[in-house]
Structure 1
């Protein structure tokens, strides 16, 4: 039996009795059940919403997940554009959606990438919005111009004033929320906007590294090193060998870990840029 499932349908079809349903399953939403002890994923929760309210439209962060965005926790509230009754774990949005702002993904009604981007940019704080927009752009590229047109269409909707602070800074090259954080750290400190995911080749045209973000004209780069760089011996050895090649090619790459202070990171990169000819 599919998980989650409609409890009343399972009883009507003779798959379960009411006593068996109560003893072996737990409700996810009204009349939507999963096995007791089952760890419910975000996708299963979204499927449950679509079963409970077939006409509902998934929006916001959950919509970005349906479009392929990563780095989202399973327990986030699911935003729904619907007239459904309030339930735990759902955020109901009483908003207008035009026909061209709704699509279907795996049989589930969801806001289009452009409309999803509009909602992320106006409902979330600036840095969180940019991180979620980066993840959406990385998974399902959308045109910033299309989002701006939707904003004009829905002039006056709640939160629209937040959009101009987030939308121009979207960059699908970010491959984690921490990379977004690092990029914004540099921009907010007054450094030039970096290029993301630049491929570096050696003198023979052989691939060396794809740098998280860099200032190509000055051969300065920055990389956020996650735990895999510290826990994997193979990754550690590879990093050392690649860094030797980058140094030979006259690249200065600043490596950032979660324990670093933002001000220290900025000063390292600022000093490297100034030493290589950047003038504010």
Structure 2
């Protein structure tokens, strides 16, 4: 029996090229075996390495120009902000010859964005994502998440988006006006924009609320002026019985203190207009005298044509990268 090829440690923890493998005596035949995954053409990784978006990005950098920088949606995903489609992997370079590989979208630029070695800074990743067509809801959710995760502060992120010029700059400026601090999940962003873009007043994000007896708890979204609370109940709460019971107790306490509340669930989001009208009716009961909601073509496109469930299914998931060993070969890059 032929002894298996002994692999150097440098090939065990990260992607490597065929040339690098050859320098250590690892043949193409060995690379074609079960111990390795081929990521992009000419780049492999040991099968024991967890396939994360960071690993995919490192693989892409091995076949692009030395100055290439990961940016856009891919840069957001490397930081744990999962917005938009995972493919193609997006990079920029000032090199005159742009690599064309399935699964990669390398854009030639005159000046590289601010970056740390190979990853563009968070604000410029979001700006690039807006330029690449990330829709308004996903872009705002990404901005909220960058702030919540501490990747950048709201002021600097806002300044970067408003300073952008050229393609996507109008979208970036809109995003800058809609981002908020204290947003803890994309679902909260989605629910807030569902209401605001229909013309209802903007709720406060994650405020601490109380009644005559003092502090009661924190709400996802609230209209203190009208004593209305909007809560998103995710499936994870129903599956975690202790958390579910605490949530029910808290909502009972709010109701006892004369707060009106609307509970938003995944199932209810299948009928987004109904959710908006539920909130509107509670606002009216609380003394709101503003205009009724308006569902313009943009609102329809963002919330009805692209439902919450569809939006989730089209967004990169951190667990999905491990299942994508052959994915780039089935995706065509959009190279500008």
Q: TM-score range with shorter-chain normalisation?
A: 0.7 to 0.9
When residues 31 and 81 of structure 1 are mapped into structure 2, their CA distance, relative to the original with a 3 A threshold, is: same
Structure scoring higher RCO (CA < 8 A, sep ≥ 6) equals 2
* TM score, norm. by length of structure 1: 0.84
Structure 2 residue runs of 5 or longer lacking an equivalent are 1-11, 291-336
1:138 aligned to 2:138? Answer: no
Structure 1 residue runs of 5 or longer lacking an equivalent are none
Q: Are the counterparts in 1 of residues 158 and 176 from structure 2 also a CA contact under 8 Å? A: no
State the partner residue of 1:190.
Answer: 199
Q: How large is the Cα RMSD of the aligned pairs?
A: 2.6
Q: Are the counterparts in 1 of residues 37 and 45 from structure 2 also a CA contact under 8 Å? A: yes
State the partner residue of 1:256.
Answer: 264
Aligned mates of 1:2, 1:120 — CA distance in 2: 29
1:46 offset after TM fit, Å? 1.3
State the partner residue of 1:237.
Answer: 245
1:57 offset after TM fit, Å? 0.6
User: C-alpha deviations, 1:107-126, integer Å up to 9, x for none?
Assistant: x4122222223222332222
Aligned mates of 2:237, 2:114 — CA distance in 1: 40
Number of aligned residue pairs: 268
Q: Are the counterparts in 1 of residues 13 and 49 from structure 2 also a CA contact under 8 Å? A: no
User: C-alpha deviations, 1:54-83, integer Å up to 9, x for none?
Assistant: 4211111121233x3433589432210024
Q: Answer with 218-227 or 129-138: which moved more.
A: 129-138
Q: Are the counterparts in 1 of residues 123 and 152 from structure 2 also a CA contact under 8 Å? A: no
User: C-alpha deviations, 1:200-230, integer Å up to 9, x for none?
Assistant: 3566755x43211111222211111111122
When residues 167 and 122 of structure 1 are mapped into structure 2, their CA distance, relative to the original with a 3 A threshold, is: farther
Q: Secondary structure at the match of 1:221?
A: strand
When residues 256 and 58 of structure 1 are mapped into structure 2, their CA distance, relative to the original with a 3 A threshold, is: same
* TM score, norm. by length of structure 2: 0.71
The runs of at least 4 consecutive aligned structure 1 residues that moved more than 6 Å come to none
Give 1 or 2: higher strand fraction.
1
